[in-house]
Amino acid sequence: MFHAPIPAERYYSYLTWHDIDKMPNKANVILIQSIGAIEQHGAHLPLITDAAIGLQVIGKTLEQFSPEDKPVVYVLPPQHAGRSTEHISFPGTISLSATTLTNLLMDIGESVYRSGFRKLIFFNSHGGQPQIMETVARDLRQRFSDFILFPIFVWHLPNVGQTLVTPHEFKYGIHAGDIETSLMLTILRKYVRMNLAEKEYPSTLISERNLLGIEGGLAYAWVTKDLSRSGVIGDPTGATQDKGEQILASLVTSFKKLLEEIHEFHF
């Protein structure tokens, strides 16, 4: 069905315009727009990896609430493709420009605002675009003074990933490594090809003594082919379904708490 893995009763597109017109306390209903990516994840993971992880976290979290529970949450149709320009040298990647993604999310935000909603989460699961979510959320907030927006990056949610992999993998396994592969063994095991998983860390890693790095506040601009021949940045060979289940459960716990906080949040 169209809603999977979102619970059907939480799927926005199954509502009618009458349902939305008559919805009580619409200003405190929370809408979630998931934004993922369709991009290469090495030879062992499917293109939908980022989008699948984000949707699974949302779906499993909403299963924790009954239809009568607060907060009231609906999930907008997922936006699978995102800004993946760093991966476009690898076949299969579909990338939107930053301008296109910005305009798309601005239009979605304005549309739900016109329908009377006042709380919107941009739930992003791709590391190449958190800044776009933040910019769009700020611009919509400036445009509509009673609109409250939350640009959330799934990997900013507290989770146990760091305790399950080596410190080196946690720092440098930023794409198709142990954590993402373990999650995909839980979410879409049928489409994970562990026989093709290979370890590859960038040969250009900068010394721990230097200020520059590939991620963080003092990073240099890169595209994936600068760092990896295989498309992998990390070591997926030790990934397991058990790790994935632990990481997913911790993300769900954190997102449930966050939704409860957003329900209570007002300026």
- What are the sequence ranges of the domains in the chain? 8-170+246-264
Sheet with 119-124: list strands edge to edge: 73-75, 30-35, 119-124, 148-153
Token pair for 8: 């059907």
**The pLDDT value given to residue 203:** 79
Q: How far apart are CA 236 and CA 173, in angstroms?
A: 8
pLDDT surpasses 80 at 206 = no
Q: How far apart are CA 16 and CA 128, in angstroms?
A: 34
* Percent of the chain residues topping a pLDDT of 70: 99
Is the pTM for the entire model greater than 0.85? yes
As beta bridge partners, residue 45 has: 41
The model's confidence at residue 207, banded by pLDDT at 50, 70 and 90, is low
For 64-104, what is each residue's pLDDT tens digit? 998 777 899 999 999 999 999 999 999 999 999 999 999 99
Of 92, 247, 242, residue with least CA distance to 173 = 247
CATH number of 8-170+246-264: 3.40.50.10310
Helices (H) and strands (E) in the chain — how many of each?
A: 9, 4
